[in-house]
Amino acid sequence: MEIRVAKDEKDSIAASFIYAMGWKSGYKGIFTEKLLANILLDNWVNLFNANLITKRSEIAILNVDGEDVGAGGYGLSRDYNDSEIGEITSIYFLEKAWGKGYAKNLMDFMTKQLRKKGYKRVNIWVLSENIRAQKFYEKYGFKRTGNEKSATIKGEGIINFEYIIDFDEV
C-alpha cells in the first residue's frame, strides 16, 4: 500500500474516478438512483486540477498493488476564517477496498499532512444519513459539534453534521 499526493491531471482523473464510484456505491439509499446514475466519472477533474494550482486543498490517493482504490481531500477549512483549522473535505474508496482498514491509513496520512501544515484542529462534514461514516469518524477521534449545514445536490436536499478533532486532545 502506498499513498501519494496528487500532482498532475492523471492523478486528478484517478481521484475523480474513485470519488464517482465511491458516490455510486456509498450513497445508495441516501441519494436517488437517478442522481447516482448521472454522476460522471470525470465530475471532479476540473476541481482537482484547479486545486493543483491554488494549493487550497490537496488530494491524497491510496494505491494497493498498483491500483488506485481510495482518495481523500484535505486543506484549509472552507468554513472557518482561522489558519489553525484545517478540513478533511472528503474520503472515498472503490467498494472492493471497503472493510480492509485503508480508510484509517488514508485518514492517518491526511491528518499527518494537516499537522505538518500547522493546523491545530480539523473539521469534517458528514451526511446526516451516512451512519457508517459517522461511526468511522467517531472511532477515529472526531467529535460531533452540533453544527449542521443544509445543502441541495441536483435538487435533493441534504443535511450535514460537523465533526471536529482537536490535535491537542488525541
How confident is the prediction along the chain (170 residues), in pLDDT tens digits per residue?
Answer: 999 999 999 999 999 999 999 999 999 999 999 999 999 999 999 999 999 999 889 999 999 999 999 999 999 999 998 889 999 999 999 999 999 999 999 999 999 999 999 999 999 999 999 999 999 999 999 999 999 999 888 888 899 999 999 987 76
Question: Which three three-digit cell numbers place residue 49?
Answer: 486540477
**CA–CA separation, 153 vs 75, rounded Å?**
22
Q: What is the pLDDT of residue 17?
A: 98
Q: What is the pLDDT of residue 21?
A: 98
Count structural domains, the chain. 1
The boundaries of the domain holding residue 102 are 2-169
Q: What is the pLDDT of residue 81?
A: 83
Q: Model's pTM, two decimal places?
A: 0.94
Q: What is the pLDDT of residue 170?
A: 61
**CA–CA separation, 115 vs 123, rounded Å?**
13
Q: What is the pLDDT of residue 156?
A: 84
CATH number where 100 lies: 3.40.630.30
For 77-138, list the strands marked E by DSSP.
85-93, 121-127
**CA–CA separation, 90 vs 71, rounded Å?**
8
Q: What is the pLDDT of residue 57?
A: 94
